[in-house]
Structure 1
Amino acid sequence: NGEVSAIGIASPGPLDPHTGTILATPNIPEWQNFPLAPNLSKHFNVQVYLDNDANLAGLAEWKFGAGKGHSNLVYLTISTGIGGGVIVHDRLLQGFRGLGGELGHMIIDPEGPPCGCGKNGHVESFCSGPAIARYVNERIRAGETSTLQPDVNLSAAQVADAARAGDSLAISAFARAGYYLGISVANFLAIFDPSILIFGGGVSQVGDLLFKPFEESLRKHTFHPHYLDNLTIAKAALGDDAGLLGALALARLKMGAQ
């Protein structure tokens, strides 16, 4: 009948989906501990549901995209940061506090480089776009030769262009990221045992530069080869619409619709 019965919201975290509260927003400090869903619910007089944007992108890929038909799924977006969404037995993993699925902040080397969150050695510290560019800058300043110049504004896309042109440092930067991504995903397989891995985000678009070393590392570090049997590795299908469609899926699931 055209009436709005519920609203779904995909937001950067950390947040509490159980209360609809934004816990921290580095780019909007005024919204720290802000009860976004309750305020919108009061304003619009409908139920409002809130969750992490990466969680909801994973939910969307499961419901509408590359993961459709799979009951156990791990979604990973690799971009300026790294986010994840996990489906276990057809349910979005949220955890006791609603903070589950923060795959980009799994520690893979506590002595590793700093993460944007302030901790060290996270998946994001090694495999995100800024991490790849930072590594190249560090190696050039340490004396390695490259067609690239040290630049605080260097992007992973520029590193990818140099790698495709044969720059050995740029190639090694993606090989390093792929190596650590393989270690990370080997951990995810041991914890979640998915039937499909879905990769989204701009950095994932570089293709073999990242994924050939990733696959080698994944085979090397996976606890048992049986985890890899019939495992599908796929590109995300929904692009920039994933968060929006995930918010829709969240609201519909909460309201009991299919």
Structure 2
Amino acid sequence: MSRMGHVIAIDVGGTHLRAAAYAPDSQIPLKHRRTKSHAPDEKIFDRMAALVEAVWPGEVDAIGVSSPGPLDSRTGVVMATPNIKEWRNFPLTANLMKRFGVPAFLDNDANLAGLAEWKFGAGRGHHDVLYLTVSTGIGGGVILGDRLLQGHHGLAAELGHVTLDPRPSAPLCGCGFRGHLEAFSSGTGIENYVAEQLAAGRKSSLTGRPSARATRDAATMTCFI
């Protein structure tokens, strides 16, 4: 078997897109770029392709993509990512292969993060690992017996879409169903809850506190650096 050459890694998030080029057996990128996931009048795939072109190291053997689910890693199709509305049954790897002419592979971002944590991080040396990520959405990755648990369609650890509240009045999840964990506890869910409470006249305990204002200002600066 021939040795793998340069590869491109893409991380798709509900807020940011990231791409990096790697040499064989290296954990330090040759080049990396980041941009916002969404922009007016520009498709997210075109923004992704521009990032790939910006980090392209000359010769590339493959492209790997981590994306929020639900998705089918076997077919390379993103089925219904809540935070990327334009991707519904979108053949992501087929589009990448057509655009760049190299093999492309896709898996759930939380699955791959859990796999990386098991191989390189806090999970090293353990046979069973549960990884939970809370960001724009909520996802999970499960390692059982030194193997990534994916399920029949790669949906085994979609923890963000576990139903907590079955009532018709429960908060709406980005996937279109109500009462999911992600609708309550993700970054988006918390933001929506706070906005609803303030609109209803509730007062925040942080109002008027200088430390809260300083934290907000620091977070705003971080977003634009």
Give runs of ≥4 in structure 1 deviating > 6 Å.
none
Show the counterpart of 2:47.
none
Structure 1 residues 141 and 41 mapped into 2: Cα distance closer, same or farther (>3 Å)?
closer
Structure 1 residues 77 and 145 mapped into 2: Cα distance closer, same or farther (>3 Å)?
same
Q: Deviations over 1:80-137 (max 9, x none)?
A: 2111111111111111122221100101111232212221111112211232233334
Question: Does the aligned pair in 1 maintain the 2:115–2:141 contact within 8 Å?
Answer: yes
Show the counterpart of 1:97.
153
SS for the counterpart of 2:65 is: strand
* Structure 2 gap ranges (5+): 7-59, 220-225
Show the counterpart of 1:75.
131
Show the counterpart of 1:117.
175
Structure 1 residues 115 and 24 mapped into 2: Cα distance closer, same or farther (>3 Å)?
closer
Structure 1 residues 89 and 113 mapped into 2: Cα distance closer, same or farther (>3 Å)?
same
C-alpha displacement at 1:32, in angstroms? 3.5
Distance 1:127 1:119 in 2: 15
Distance 2:97 2:138 in 1: 30
Aligned residue identity for 1:109: D
TM-score, scaled relative to structure 1: 0.50
Show the counterpart of 2:113.
57
Q: Deviations over 1:198-222 (max 9, x none)?
A: xxxx9xxxxxxxxxxxxxxxxxxxx
Matched, 1:27 2:79: no
Structure 1 residues 126 and 42 mapped into 2: Cα distance closer, same or farther (>3 Å)?
closer
User: Comparing both structures, which one devotes a greater share of its residues to strand?
Assistant: 2
* Structure 1 gap ranges (5+): 150-157, 165-201, 203-258
**CA RMSD between the two structures:** 3.2
Question: Does the aligned pair in 1 maintain the 2:80–2:175 contact within 8 Å?
Answer: no
Question: Does the aligned pair in 1 maintain the 2:70–2:155 contact within 8 Å?
Answer: yes
C-alpha displacement at 1:148, in angstroms? 5.0
Pick one of 182, 186, 191 that aligns with 1:128: 186
Matched length: 154
TM-score, scaled relative to structure 2: 0.56
SS for the counterpart of 1:18 is: coil
